[in-house]
Amino acid sequence: MQIRSDEFKERSVFAIHDANLQTALGRARYGFVGKRAQQVADLPEFEQLREEAKNLKNHVLDNLDHYLARYEQAVVASGGQVHWARDAEEARKIILGICKRVGAKTVTKGKSMVSEEIDLNEALIDNGMEVVETDLGEYIIQLAHEPPSHIIAPAVHKTKDQVSDLFEAAHGGPRKTQVPELVDEARRVLRDKYFRADVGITGGNFLVAETGSSIIVTNEGNGDLTQTLAKVHIVTSGIERVVPTLDDATLFLRLLARSATGQETETYTTISTGPRRADDLDGPEEYHVVLVDNGRSKMLAGRFRDMLRCIRCGACMNHCPVYGAVGGHAYGWVYPGPMGSVLTPLIKGLDAAYDLPNACTLNGRCQSVCPVKIPLPELLRELRHLQHQQNITPVMQKRALGIWRWVATRPKLYHALEQLAARALSGIARRGRIRRLPLAGGWTDSRDLPAPTGRTFLELWQGKRGQR
């Protein structure tokens, strides 16, 4: 999708005034947060698991070449194929090549954020294929021609009424209004697509180096039907998603569902290894894995390596008060919230997403819930530092910081100016507050400014104690 992160400010203001969006966000936020908290309370070793998961991911990243090579060997040994894609364009070409070779007309898709990252759907549709998203949330936003607004709940911004309207327009009436009716209708429509699909594309929550398996977790079972009923199964995944063994994968599975949706485990956890074997009851004839780099090896080499631990649970955005205020679309690209504010500038360029690292209060709640302990606020600050160094930071802000530094390193001048401000502000205050202040509209448009009392603390202290 076209990146629109440079419109963050406008889009966030729009989002704040969108009543439907605010209703949907309010409900979702409290649901996920409360359920996760309950799961964490019920699992005494949760904190220990986070630490183990962090360490294991770090070990994998330190030895990524080794584990990826082992993974590829194991995939090939099980009859599958691994394709390496340096960037989005290469990934599209590879997948399009496979689809064309097998003469694909219908392509079903399980949820895959990497496929969003590489703009896969447009490429397939442009080449005459029918693309059907089978995750209910993805299906809803496909009907609405919108990108996902959350990495695990892509249609979280939609209300039930909006879904009813979309389904009525797409499937014909009568208009359904109850959730079970809507789900049944989607299931009926999708069932037919699964059987007609030539190619099924899924993501990969984890890739297991030991066995060459890909693991997906879903709550709807749509991923299973996508990958077993089509003639060809293509897994799209980032290179960082490999784990050494099946046993290691279970560590992450214990953390993933609890962090993401506040479930003990997702309804379906499916492990796929290679294409259908002679005595298998079902399964695809071909099994392909497309491993996408798209900026990841650059992250691996630099100071943003910690970000590659991400297992895409969405806990950071569920707990982010900024995401909670503006929703996912304001962020303007595939990944929203704190993790997206780190990834988007790194993948799409620092200047393409100036606001994302800045639109954060550094309150740290995201880091405190991250199952792999990514120091998200530090990474966001580090991006601000890069923006500052590369002169992407607005000139006025840099100039203001320069003046502030000049004054603040001159204590006598600084204190004199504070004294002046204390007097001036208390002079224009009425009843202890200032309602409007020139050049401070950012504050006073929505808040009163508490007024100083006229003298600074240092001034009063020196008067009282005669002390330096």
Partner 1 sequence: MTSSPTAGPRVGLFATCLMNLFRPNVGFSAVKLLEDAGCSVEVPASQTCCGQPGYNSGDYDAARALARQVIEAFEHFDYVVGPSGSCMATIRHDYPALFADDPQWLPRAEALSRKSFELLSFLADVRGAAVTVDARYAGTATYHDSCSGLRGLGIKGQPRALLGEVDGLKLKEMEDAEVCCGFGGTFCVKYPEISEKMVDDKVRNILATGADTLLGGDLGCLMNIAGRLKRIHAPVKVFHIAEVLAGFADGAGLADAPKESR
Q: What is the binding site for partner 1 (CB under 8 A)? A: 9, 12-13, 16, 321-322, 325-326, 358-365, 367-368, 381, 383-389, 393, 397-398, 401-402, 404-405, 408-409, 411, 414-415, 418, 421-422, 431-433, 435, 440-443, 445-453, 455-458, 460-462, 464-465, 467-468
DSSP state of 355: H
Query: Residue 171 CA to chain centroid, in angstroms?
Result: 31
- Which of 85/422 has CB closer to partner 1? 422
Alpha carbons 415 and 78: distance in angstroms, whole number = 72
- Which of 77/460 has CB closer to partner 1? 460
Minimum CB distance to partner 1, residue 62 (Å)? 20
- Which of 47/184 has CB closer to partner 1? 47
Residue with tokens 């209708």: 185
- Which of 86/447 has CB closer to partner 1? 447
What radius of gyration do the chain's Cα atoms show?
26
Minimum CB distance to partner 1, residue 373 (Å)? 13
Minimum CB distance to partner 1, residue 71 (Å)? 35
Alpha carbon distance, N-terminus to C-terminus of the chain: 61
- Which of 2/467 has CB closer to partner 1? 467
What tokens appear for 94 in the block? 């590879």
Minimum CB distance to partner 1, residue 396 (Å)? 11
What is the secondary structure of 12-60 as a DSSP string?
HHHHHT-HHHHHHHHHHHHHHHHHHHHHHHH-TTHHHHHHHHHHHHHHH
Minimum CB distance to partner 1, residue 330 (Å)? 9
Distances 290 to 45, 85, 107, 215, 236 between C-alpha atoms, Å: 35, 7, 16, 14, 5
Nearest residue to 227 (alpha-carbon basis) of 144, 143, 111: 111
Nearest residue to 198 (alpha-carbon basis) of 78, 101, 82: 101
Minimum CB distance to partner 1, residue 424 (Å)? 11
Minimum CB distance to partner 1, residue 232 (Å)? 45
Strand partners, 394: none
- Which of 252/323 has CB closer to partner 1? 323
Asked if residue 206 lies in contact with residue 215, where contact means CB atoms within 8 angstroms, the answer is yes
- Which of 16/125 has CB closer to partner 1? 16
- Which of 233/384 has CB closer to partner 1? 384
Minimum CB distance to partner 1, residue 78 (Å)? 45
b/e 119-130 (16+ beta carbons within 10 angstroms → b):
bbbebbeeeebe
